[in-house]
Amino acid sequence: MNDVDWVQLIIVIVIFAAVTVMGFMAARWRRTGELDSLDEWGLGGRGFGTFVTWFLLGGDLYTAYTFVAVPAAMYATGAISGFFAVPYTIVVYPIIFIFMSRLWSVSHRNGYVTPADFVGGRYGSRGLSLAVAVTGILATMPYIALQLVGMQAVFETMGLGGDNTLAKDLPLLIAFAVLAAYTYSSGLRAPAMIAFVKDGLIYLVIAAAILYLPGQLGGWDSIFDAAKTKMETTNPATGKPTGSFIPGEAGYSAYWTLALGSALALFMYPHSVTAVLSTKNRNVVRRNAAILPAYSLLLGLLALLGFMAIKANVNVKGLDGLANPQLAIPRLFDQEFPAWFAGIAFAAIAVGALVPAAIMSIAAANLFTRNIYRDFLKKDATPAQEAKVSKLASLLVKFGALVFVLGMDKTISLNLQLLGGIWILQTFPAIVVGLFTRWFHRWALLAGWAVAMVFGTISAYNVINPATKKHFGGSLANIPFTETQVYIGLTAFGINLIVTIVLTLILRALNVPSGEDATHSTDYLADAGDPGVKDLSELLDEGGAAPAKS
């Protein structure tokens, strides 16, 4: 396995180089002003229409890690841990249809760049805004790290690596240096442009895999039967079936809570909000809710590649000699496709890692700049200073992710990513409920968030992997005092809501001041072109978000 496949490598390098050139050229794409404000650098000028947004959100939400991890989960343990991604990405769009336009409108009328900006303005509480910002940054960092893990799986399959640490990590270092450079110079425009290439390649690869591989492997019937046989076989380490081919009754609650919890969490991630706020009017995101399911279909078909890998009997031993299900898909391509097409598929995954990694680092940097730097460190920061701080922070965030992947065990990133999903869901009450009503008290929201964060973290820590006996063994646990197994994030979310409601009642009864609301009820329905919806030059003059008004 240690021989480098030159055909694959050359194709990957060529596509990678082309994408790099695009990334730098993107700085000049649809420019309206200088790249020295967060609206320009961090939100691409806030001018993306339905078409660009479809690619941008698709590239952002359906990451390289998703494309490697979902089929890997299908390969390893079947439907509950893998195929739940399909109902997850089905129900997410009706959910965001309901509230995302309101977030767009209020953000544009008040110049908000991050979800934490909105929370701070709505509740008149920098503390709550800080909580949302810190949660966002914490949840995003390991997610960026996992994009690198996806890339690593590809490089390893191509035969790059070996015992020499430098040779093993060099491709990743180069890829990341390039990514950091063009994100720094072009901002959100770079991933928006590269997303076209990424999605084009991914659609091509999946179409080929779905049309070509079943014939090679003896048809869909036999692929599903092979998966069924594997999932029903007893795992010697645990004494239980390997996984679930079709969830049994005991697995229903796990399946739907994973789907619902993940769907509620997805648009709380700062990188999703960044992409939504970069659109040019309040309806772009709604139209996208109707057309983004195309990616869900893609993801569903991709998940089934995990079953194909079972049927094809791929070898998932890593260079370290240990079985690593993350290698299932790269190895399947390597084994079943001619080298040149496997090269295209690998390039698709590698480029697929760059788009979300860039958007995530921009989103995390925006959070740092607006809700930590400007709110706490330098209150009179100018837009140019904000953009500069954000650019540097985006470098720092990526560097941190790189250190994570190279310096620490991969499982730590995986654990933190699992925790990140649980954490980010806890910002839902402050953000989404806040879009409709201000009934929740700011301190109640803060308390609910804190309790749920602690509960979620402890519950996740207490899940022991039955095979390896390690902590953070998964994201499922019983609801306290019951035998019903559900997604920990959703349990924590329930506790969050209960604490928030009870404390709101108490705080309101005690007449504790609930803070000033900087937003107005008409803000939530405003659209581009309405009075008060600022265009860029006005925002720049004022230096971003307006101060609190009655």
For residues 373 and 524, which CB has a smaller minimum distance to another protein in the complex?
524
Residue placing its CB nearer to another protein in the complex, 83 or 423 = 83
Q: Which two tokens stand for residue 414?
A: 């995986």
Q: Which is nearer to another protein, 49 or 200 (CB)?
A: 49
Closest distance to another protein from the beta carbon of 51 (Å):
6
- Cβ pair 122, 519 in contact under 8 A: yes
Closest by CA position to 368, among listed 478, 249, 270, 236 = 270
Contacts of 40 (CB under 8 A, 6+ apart): 31, 32, 33, 34, 187, 387, 536
By CB neighbour count within 10 A (0-12 exposed, 13-18 middle, 19+ buried), where does 95 fall? Answer: middle
Task: Encode 197-237 in three state secondary structure.
Answer: HHHHHHHHHHHHHHHHHHHHCCHHHHHHHHHHHHHHCECCC
Query: Nearest distance from residue 163's CB to another protein, in Å?
Result: 41
Q: Which C-beta is closer to another protein: that of 175 or that of 259?
A: 259
Q: How far is the CB of 429 from another protein (least distance, A)?
A: 18
Instruction: Kindly state the greatest CA–CA separation across the chain.
Output: 71
User: Tokens standing for 367?
Assistant: 């959070």
388-407: burial string, b at 16+ Cβ within 10 Å, e else: ebbbebbbebbebbbebbbe
Contacts with 459 (C-beta within 8 Å, 6 or more apart), sequence order: 477, 488, 491, 492
The minimum distance between CB 464 and another protein, in angstroms, equals 25
Q: Which is nearer to another protein, 99 or 346 (CB)?
A: 99
Name the minimum Å distance from CB 432 to another protein. Answer: 14
Minimum CB distance to another protein smaller for 482 or for 511? 482
Output phi, psi for 187, to 5 deg.
65, -145
Nearer to another protein, 517 or 527 (CB): 527
In the complex, the smallest distance separating the C-beta of residue 305 from another protein, rounded to whole angstroms, is 13
Footprint of another protein (CB under 8 A): 30, 49-52, 79, 83, 86-87, 90-91, 93-95, 97-98, 214, 219-224, 245-249, 251-252, 255-256, 259-260, 280-283, 286-287, 289-291, 293-294, 296-297, 300-301, 304, 525-530
SS3 label, residue 253: helix
CB 364 within 8 A of CB 341: no
The least distance separating another protein from the CB of residue 142, rounded to whole angstroms, comes to 27
- Closer of 39 and 169 to another protein (Cβ): 39
Q: From CA 281, how far away is CA 393, in angstroms rounded?
A: 28
Task: Quote the least distance from Cβ 307 to another protein, whole Å.
Answer: 9
Contacts of 391 (CB under 8 A, 6+ apart): 41, 184, 187, 365
How many C-beta neighbours within 10 Å does residue 122 have?
25
Nearest residue (CB) to another protein, 98 versus 467 = 98
Q: Which amino acid is at 240?
A: K
Containing H/E element for 188? none
- Beta carbon of residue 30, minimum distance to another protein (angstroms, whole number): 8
User: Rounded to the nearest whole angstrom, what is the least distance from the CB of residue 430 to another protein in the complex?
Assistant: 21
Residue closer to another protein, measured from CB, 283 or 478? 283
Task: Compute the distance between CA of residue 237 and CA of residue 152 in angstroms, rounded to an integer.
Answer: 28
